[in-house]
Amino acid sequence: KGAKDYAEKALALLKEPNCRQSESRTYLLAYGFIMHWSSPIEVSISGLLDGYYMGIATGDTKCTSWNKFLYLNIVVMTGRGSLEDIVDDFENDVKQMVEWNQLKPSTSTIILWQLVLNLMGHSENTVILTGKAMDQDKLLQESLETKNGLFRLRLSAYRLYAAFIFDEYEIAMEQLEESNMHKGTLQKAIPGTFMVKNMYFHCALTCISMAQ
């Protein structure tokens, strides 16, 4: 509740003069990390989308990109839209992020894009994130070479999600254990985001399924 109060105060301050350049970042922090804990998820969805358009208007390409990724992530994970309706937008979003040289959000969006393709049956193996959007092994190798643990963790989290959806519980458990999600690695890497509680939920379901 305390975080929500501060977020609401920050959003209210945007009405003051000379705050326009901070709009997209403020929306990102408020709706990407705070509001979904205590408000209906639709509030965060609309807020992140507003933050995306605000960033475009002000030229804040970093926050624009993260707003769009977090928006897409919530839409996919909560089923607040048909996958068929959003899958074609991913290619344009990724292209724009790459043009802006926003590597982290663009790569995160690519992984999510491939997850959507897998969920729609557009991959050779439903629990391996390789297809039109990306090559799982190539991304893993690149993340090791660049020592980017965030990409590996996000890849494991989405693979766990796909494995659970397709009843591949042993593979889901492998992802949980390999990335130490049960030891708080997600919370440390991406604190406060909707992805944290969503993945912990699926980690718990995976453990229950394995125990049966």
Q: What is the pLDDT along the chain (212 residues), one digit of tens a residue?
A: 789 999 999 999 998 888 889 999 999 999 999 999 999 999 999 999 999 999 999 999 999 999 999 999 999 999 988 899 999 889 999 999 999 999 999 999 999 999 999 999 999 999 999 999 999 999 999 988 988 888 888 999 999 999 999 999 999 999 988 877 656 666 676 788 898 888 888 889 999 999 88
CB 91 within 8 A of CB 99: no
> How far does Cα 153 stand from its chain's mean position?
11
Residue 183: what pLDDT? 66
Q: Taking phi first (over 0 means left), then psi (-120 to 50 degrees means alpha), and beta for anything else, what does residue 59 get?
A: left
Residue indicated by tokens 């989290």: 157
Cβ neighbourhood burial of 72 (10 Å; 0-12, 13-18, 19+): buried
CA distances from 25 to 74, 159, 193 (A): 18, 29, 15
A 10 A CB-CB count for 8 gives 13
CA distances from 55 to 6, 19, 25, 26, 28 (A): 21, 13, 8, 10, 10
Residue indicated by tokens 């030229």: 59
Residue 212: what pLDDT? 81
Q: Which among 38, 66, 40 is positioned nearest to 52, based on CA atoms?
A: 66
Residue 150: what pLDDT? 85
Q: Which among 180, 158, 168, 166 is positioned nearest to 77, based on CA atoms?
A: 158
What's the rounded Cα separation, in Å, for the pair 91 and 25?
A: 24
Residue 6: what pLDDT? 93
pTM: 0.92
CA distances from 16 to 21, 49, 57, 64, 132 (A): 12, 21, 18, 21, 45
Q: At CA 105, angle to CA 103 and CA 110, rounded to 5?
A: 90
